[in-house]
Amino acid sequence: MNKKVTIGVVQAAPEYLNVEKSMQKVEALLREAAAKGAQLVTFGETWFTGYPAWIDYCDEYARWDFPATKTVFARTHEHSLDVNGPEVKQIGEWAKELGVVVVMGINEKVTSGIGNGTIYNSLLTWNEKGELANHHRKLMPTHTERLLYGQGDGAGLQAVDTSFGRIGGLICWEHWMPLTRQTMHNSGEHIHVAVWPKVHDMLQVATRSYAFEGRCFAVGVGQIMRVKDIPSELKLPPEFEGKPENMILNGGSCIFGPSGETILAPQWDIEGVFTAEVDLNKCYEERLALDVTGHYQRHDIFELTVNKKRPK
């Protein structure tokens, strides 16, 4: 059986905190990926409308009642996506038109109801029919991210069916959470999308280990961000002064196979849409030796219970 799939990895700078320009860029990148034969198109952590890397570099932003941070938070909220909004629907229409599956990290807002003043670090999956097939919110914002993002839930901890295989994904340091990984392995992934701000050495370790442990293909997706993308209200560290084009996030996107082999070596300091063809039969070839959901698991000893309810 032919189970070959072409994966597209988008490593590009977002249009930082600008929904309109971001939509234009999404369309262009999806069309570029589809023209290169991609059946799955992946974007990095909160690519829409940009990862808040300023939380790791700028001074003073965590001070109580700090006006600049409040302004930036409000603008981030304004330029976040509501999953029930027109932008999410439009991306689905592009996915349907092009016949591609899209996995994209977003800044998410809720217009009304529970969480309407909170921003979530979320991962959306559209299938090739244009349907929003999965909506995952990052369980634990990492370290400094907790100033900006709320905690997610278990509703999106699942792989989804597509015409070519089952696709799942996790966000950043969720890959260091053993029970989260096991939950996703149990859902039966063929391709796992691991989204990051950039995929530095230890994050490559996490991505590669996930592929080996889950006997699946793991796509590590990084992105590009430059000094000029830092909101102007915030004070730049001295090493960034006068260097607007310097990269803060410089990619590192990569793909690993189910035996831990490198399919796409990390791509640094470059923007582009990278593609690689993979054979999903490899997932089952490697599960002969290791299946952490079945013959290499002790369900009589361990029990895993997951609350998949989303607060409403």
Which residues are part of the catalytic machinery? 45, 138, 172
Spatial distance between the Cα atoms of 171 and 184, rounded to a whole number of angstroms: 12
Pairing state of beta strands 119-126 and 132-137?
A: antiparallel
Residue 121 tokens, joined = 């670090």
Token representation of residue 195: 């989204």
Q: Which amino acid is at 22?
A: S
Say which amino acid occupies 65. D
What amino acid occupies position 206?
Answer: A
Measured between alpha carbons, how far is 285 from 293 in angstroms, rounded to an integer? 15
Closest to 236 (Cα-Cα) out of 63, 53, 76: 53
Is the link from the previous residue into 162 a cis peptide, with omega within 30 of 0?
Answer: no
Three-point CA angle 48, 122, 129, nearest 5°: 80
Q: How far is CA 157 from the centre of its chain?
A: 13
